[in-house]
Chain A
Amino acid sequence: MRNSTMSRRALLRAAGAATIVAACAPVTTQPGATQTGTTATTKPAGATGTLTFLWGGDTDKLDPPAMTTQEGFIATTALYEGLVRYKPNSTDVEPALAERMPDISSDGLAYTFHLRSGIKFHDGSPLTAEAVAFSFDRSINKDNPLFKEAQAAGGFPFIDDYIGNVVAKVEAVGALDVRFTLRRKFSPLVPNLAIPPGFVISMEALKKYGSKINENPVGTGPFKFVEWKKDDHITVENFDGYWGDRAKLQRIIFQPVPEASVRILKIQRGEGDIAWPFDPKDASSVKGKADTDVLEQPGLNVNMAEFNLKKAQFQNKPLRQALNYAINKQELADKLYSGAGVPAVGVLPATSWGFDSTLKGYTYDPEKAKALLKDAKYGGETITLDSYTIPRGYNPQGAKLAEAVQQYFQAVGVKSEIKTTEWTEYRKIRRQGELNVAFGGWQADTGDPENFLGVFFYSKNQGGVNTSFYGTPEVDKLLEQANEETDTPKRKALFNQAEAKIVDDAPWLFISHMKQQVAIRKRVKDFVLQPTYIYYFNKVSVS
């Protein structure tokens, strides 16, 4: 296995070297020169080098509306683009495929985007209003044959949370004009279009591949797809027909390295350029070194365990509250996460503009927990703690969190057992409502509080991201009002009310928020962290 990896690396190095040679060659190529092939002659002057990005596990898919992992979000951001995109290290959006921000009708129900002209997909087909409408119709129109076809491959689990629930239809109203018609006012729509479920896929490729677009991604992004060897690597290559400023890198290789400490070792040895996520305890070994460093900032995420409210055992509010009081979150943040964690008060991290500093939450109080357990009439039943096994950005310790929580429960007299399930299967059965106290988390995609509170606690999202199966008319109403409201302070007040009610109902064990940390080789220039972890590689280069 190692040999094959090495030989692949050697091959790539050779390819990279060939590129450099080709790039340095005089522009006037000899007409008779055939050995360089067609690719070498089309290389841009600036595109050189290969960036190797290491992460913990492979993505499940590369089909933007179908995938469910952060890894997929990162990889597809190199390949695809949306109508809008995030500004560097910001949750504000700017136009991307659209030439300018949309025109919104006075009733707030129609958004019209005007596309830039002359944009081509990787397959050479043009970006038109028709193509954009086709791509969205496939993911939100349940009568679309391509939508139906995709169901067998797992469907589009999150599309409704972001777009589908509110967007009735997407249609071309001119050669380059696309109109989104909404069922109700929904102010987070535009930021939602900046994330992968809103990416635009080539119409020609969709017609050709259907759900197999997963293995044959065709977008407009600065990089085009080369190959995806499951659990081994994803390779993308500079796209010479990109409409904007050409990317500076020749190639990016996304490589799963399951062992967090090995990812760090690889960064130290120069066998990888960027590693995410990693165990915070290893940060000191790469931070501020001659060749390596750590980029970090407060994260826009939450780490939690959700009570499956479909199960009678957890339809017991004092029990859920008691278990929240039983956990020493500060200790977990300081010890289990080596200081890279921040105890969670509620759902939103302090980095969100919706954060409510007056919220009390559940501070560690074992005595209160025991008292509440009495109210809950807890009779010594065993509680099953369901955990995934691999590290996540919001929980780099994987299943060890469950072990720690189990001991806190034990300390207040609650018996529990841990059941671990492999990640892909875990998410599937979680959506089916088969888990009990299920560990999970969320890395926000858009930075809007809706992207925490709406996706997890709006009753219509049950079985999508809302896998505690929480839903109350009161919270639903507050969330709906917040989404229709356009005035930010008013929205914040509505979100705060909703969050206070949710925290009191305790459908989660509110655990922590993690700092966003990325280990990086110093040879990588202009890599910018994004609050949403949706990294843009356009300007990144390696020296």
Chain B
Amino acid sequence: MAGASATAVPSPVDAGAQAAPSLWVAARRRFLRSATGMLGATLLVLFGLMAIFAGQVSPYDPIHQDFRIEREAPSATHLMGTDEFGRDVFSRVVWGARVSLQAGGVAASIALVAGLFLGMTAAYYRGRTDGLVMRSMDVLLSFPYLLLAIGIVAILGRGLLTAMIAIGIVYIPNYARVVRGAVLSVGARDFVEAARATGARDRRVMWQHVLPNVLAPIIVQATLNVGTAIIDTAGLSFLGLGTQPPTPDWGNMLSAGRSYIIDSPWIATFPGLAILATVLAFNLVGDALRDALDPRLL
């Protein structure tokens, strides 16, 4: 997951090469020079590897219960202690990374794909289509995020998959608006007119000429969004609407550990720190990308 977002920076270089070769190269250079961006990227690679190799990294079965060792403080045998079922907290945090990164990634992807499609459609066709699409987006935006997500989960049923879909839907308007704005400004440019004049069909104009030129803000939005999506899915799990027990999930672990916060604080603290570190990493990378890609800095 983290690997994917780290390589996402160089890949559009080729795609956008015809339009503005210097932008992507310069952006990469700026990103690599950003200390905080690189810290974030390193953290993401680490979490990504942890998620992929959870089976190898975690010392114990994350759902194996042993009441004889319940709520033991962190020690050499159990790095982050054990929870109220005697399960190894470190192993659960490691496996939880898989769930959380997957949840954040899938939710952000759903939002990205749908938002991209809707935003481009609205901006390209203008008029009624634009009105219809953007007013529906306004309706979605008028609900508080988490409340809307809870409503969607209530309709679709509890579980990780529905939680991811719900969070994805909730974030569609953000993308749709960003994409629409970018497409509107690019769509008025001469090269788009030129492409149209050569008889290119709508789809070709959009994908080949408009899209590469609106990627920058979307990449930034997506990177920042994975972080918020992780928090939100953890939030749904915390409320019992996301991942169902006993699957380790940082939100679930926080929720279960909070009643032991006074005498066994490690149960809730470590998953909390894991959420903090991951979201921070996505934000650092997102910020660095924004700085790197901001055309005003060119």
Query: Which positions in A face B, CB cutoff 8 Å?
Result: 259-261, 279, 281, 285, 328, 331-332, 334-336, 389, 399-400, 402-404, 406-407, 417-420
Contact B259 A407 (CB under 8 A): no
B261: chain A residues at CB < 8 Å are 261
Contact B67 A417 (CB under 8 A): no
B241 to chain A, nearest CB (A): 9
Contact A279 B244 (CB under 8 A): no
Contact B240 A279 (CB under 8 A): no
B67: chain A residues at CB < 8 Å are 328, 331-332, 334-336, 404
Give complex CA distance A417, B247 in Å: 10
B85: chain A residues at CB < 8 Å are 400, 403-404, 407
Can you name the residue of chain A whose Cβ is closest to the Cβ of B70? A335
A332: chain B residues at CB < 8 Å are 67
Give complex CA distance A331, B256 in Å: 20
Closest 5 CB pairs of A and B: A335-B67, A407-B65, A261-B259, A403-B245, A331-B67
Contact A420 B63 (CB under 8 A): no
Give complex CA distance A400, B158 in Å: 17
Give complex CA distance A420, B245 in Å: 9
Contact B244 A419 (CB under 8 A): yes
Give complex CA distance A264, B246 in Å: 27
Known: A261-B259, A404-B85. A417 touches B244 (CB 8 A): yes
Give complex CA distance A285, B261 in Å: 13
Known: A331-B67, A407-B64. A279 touches B245 (CB 8 A): no
B83 to chain A, nearest CB (A): 10
Give complex CA distance A403, B63 in Å: 9
Contact B244 A418 (CB under 8 A): yes
A144 to chain B, nearest CB (A): 36
Contact B245 A399 (CB under 8 A): yes
Can you name the residue of chain B whose Cβ is closest to the Cβ of A422? B240
Can you name the residue of chain B whose Cβ is closest to the Cβ of A410? B63
B291 within 8 A of A: no
Q: How large is the interface on B (under 10, 10 to 19, 20 to 34, 35 or more residues)?
A: 10 to 19
Contact A259 B258 (CB under 8 A): yes
Give complex CA distance A400, B84 in Å: 9
A417: chain B residues at CB < 8 Å are 244
If over half of B's interface residues share one DSSP class (helix, strand or loop), that class is named, otherwise mixed; here it is: loop
A403: chain B residues at CB < 8 Å are 65, 85, 245-246
Give complex CA distance A419, B256 in Å: 16
Residue-wise interface mask of B (93-133) relative to A, using a CB-CB cutoff of 8 A (1 in contact, 0 not): 00000000000000000000000000000000000000000
B76: chain A residues at CB < 8 Å are none
B262 within 8 A of A: yes
Give complex CA distance A420, B255 in Å: 15
A337 to chain B, nearest CB (A): 11
A-B residue pairs in contact (CB < 8 Å), sample of 9: A261-B258, A261-B259, A261-B262, A281-B260, A335-B67, A400-B84, A404-B67, A407-B64, A420-B158
Contact A418 B65 (CB under 8 A): no
Contact A279 B70 (CB under 8 A): no
B258: chain A residues at CB < 8 Å are 259, 261
Residue-wise interface mask of B (146-161) relative to A, using a CB-CB cutoff of 8 A (1 in contact, 0 not): 0000000000001000
A396 to chain B, nearest CB (A): 10
Can you name the residue of chain B whose Cβ is closest to the Cβ of A262? B259
A220 to chain B, nearest CB (A): 40
Give complex CA distance A117, B94 in Å: 71
Known: A261-B259, A261-B261, A407-B85. A402 touches B245 (CB 8 A): yes
B260: chain A residues at CB < 8 Å are 261, 281
Contact B64 A279 (CB under 8 A): no
B240: chain A residues at CB < 8 Å are 389, 399, 420
A509 to chain B, nearest CB (A): 17
Can you name the residue of chain B whose Cβ is closest to the Cβ of A335? B67
Within 8 A of A (CB), among B255-289: 256, 258-263
Give complex CA distance A332, B65 in Å: 12
B76 to chain A, nearest CB (A): 23
Give complex CA distance A404, B245 in Å: 10
B60 to chain A, nearest CB (A): 13
